Chains A and B, each alone.
Chain A
Amino acid sequence: MADQPCIIGRGISIKGILAGSEPLIIEGAVEGHIVLKEHLTIKETGRIIANVEVESLLVYGSVSGSIEARDLVSLSAEASVVADIRAPRVVIADGAHFRGRIEMDVRLPPGL
């Protein structure tokens, strides 16, 4: 089980709460709430309208809602994201589309 990652196929659409503690790949549509203790990958065909709470997130598809990650949020060049992101590390690749807020820890020099 563990070596075969869990995939939500492109023909699947889920409305509601999606919770788990193993890596997940979403190729279909999810609407609602995603809570995952592991890495989440949203493939090119994946469409998410949800509040997402994960360890880390890699987006190739589209996400709308809010994203909270304990480590990294990475938006690839194909990604289209309209969301507020809170994570210690956020990466936006050239070509990615994003609109929203990003909250990272920023240590500014004193006096700014």
Chain B
Amino acid sequence: MAISKTNPGTEINVTVIGDSVRVQGTLSGDEDLHVLGRVDGRIELNRTLVVAPTGIVKAEVMVKNAVISGVVVGNIHASESVEITREGRMVGDVYSPRVIIVDGACFRGSIDMGDTASMAGRQSGNERSSSAPSTRPLSSSSSSSPTPSRFSSPPSAPPPPAWSPAPTSAWVNSAPVSPPVVASVVIAAVDEQQSDDVETLEAAEHEQEPEQEIDQGRLPTDPPQARGFSQKSNKARVIVKRK
């Protein structure tokens, strides 16, 4: 049966869908959800979804974190992280800044972690971690903005599809637990940008273009760290200018 319980010592509620329970429809809430049975439809949570090894989820999933040890068929949008464990099996697309796939897990689908820049900012112990803003707001606001890949020639993959923090920022912000550093940077950047005028944004994009071309010329000899840093600092300058 489905039960709601409070873990001793913590304030976090956990709802458990027992292994004989099947839910069809939309499941939404503000507490952790452990699925041992089956859920068909849609799951919207501000917290963590755990699909146990016996659990089957055939749904469109919007959560903060997802840990998959069972079967998931459908797309997952996670504002923080998705982990597919050794027993996990998933078919569908994942949109999340952090995705972990453990050896033994099975996965078929596409993964989008957003831009390379937000990844660089997430690495702890990195000297540019605090100063690197995400470029995702720029790329989501304009199709002409350059793909912020570390490669200077464009990769075959198209610019990031549909998912951007903008549509989901409402429920991200409403989450009582504060998101990780990078996530908050992203949200801050979005907010700034929304109150900004388009001209500044276009200027910022033009500013980036010459640097990309220079990169192309000196690709073979430049250490990637140096190039990555110069791009980061350029983006940092853009943000400061907008303030």
Query: Hey, which bits of chain A sit against chain B, CB under 8 A?
Result: 10-11, 13, 29, 45, 47, 49, 61-62, 64-66, 72, 74, 77-78, 80, 82-83, 89-109, 112
Contact = CB atoms under 8 A, between A and B. Distances in A.
B155 A77 contact: no
A62 B224 contact: yes
Given A95-B122, A99-B112, A101-B109, A112 B224 contact: no
Interface stretch (B94-102, B171-179, B232-240): B94-102
A28 to B, nearest CB: 8
Contacts of A108: 71, 73, 89, 91
Interface string B63-78: 0000000010100000
Among B89, B110, B151, chain A packs the most CB atoms within 10 A around the CB of B151
Contacts of B58: 112
A67 B44 CA distance: 34
Contacts of A92: 99-101, 111
Shortest Cβ-Cβ A-B pairs, 10 listed: A97-B119, A64-B155, A13-B220, A92-B101, A106-B106, A101-B110, A91-B103, A82-B155, A94-B100, A106-B108
Interface string B156-191: 110010000000000000000000000000000000
Give the interface size class of chain B: 35 or more
Contacts of B111: 92, 98-102
10 contacts: A13-B219, A47-B150, A82-B149, A83-B155, A89-B104, A92-B100, A101-B111, A104-B107, A106-B108, A112-B56
B219 A62 contact: no
A98 B113 contact: yes
B45 interface: no
B4 interface: no
Given A47-B151, A47-B224, A102 B219 contact: no
Nearest to A112: B73
Contacts of A107: 89, 106
Contacts of A112: 56, 58, 71, 73
Nearest to B150: A62
Nearest to A13: B220
Nearest to B155: A64
B50 to A, nearest CB: 17
A62 B122 CA distance: 16
A64 B149 CA distance: 9
Nearest to A64: B155
Contacts of A47: 150-151, 219, 224
B149 A109 contact: no
Contacts of B108: 102-106
Contact of B156 (A64, A77, A95): A64
B150 A106 contact: no
A93 B149 CA distance: 20
B98 to A, nearest CB: 6
A98 B114 CA distance: 8
Given A47-B224, A99-B111, A108-B73, 19 more contacts: A13-B219, A64-B151, A64-B155, A77-B123, A92-B99, A92-B100, A93-B100, A94-B100, A95-B98, A95-B122, A95-B123, A99-B112, A100-B110, A101-B110, A101-B111, A102-B108, A106-B90, A106-B107, A112-B58
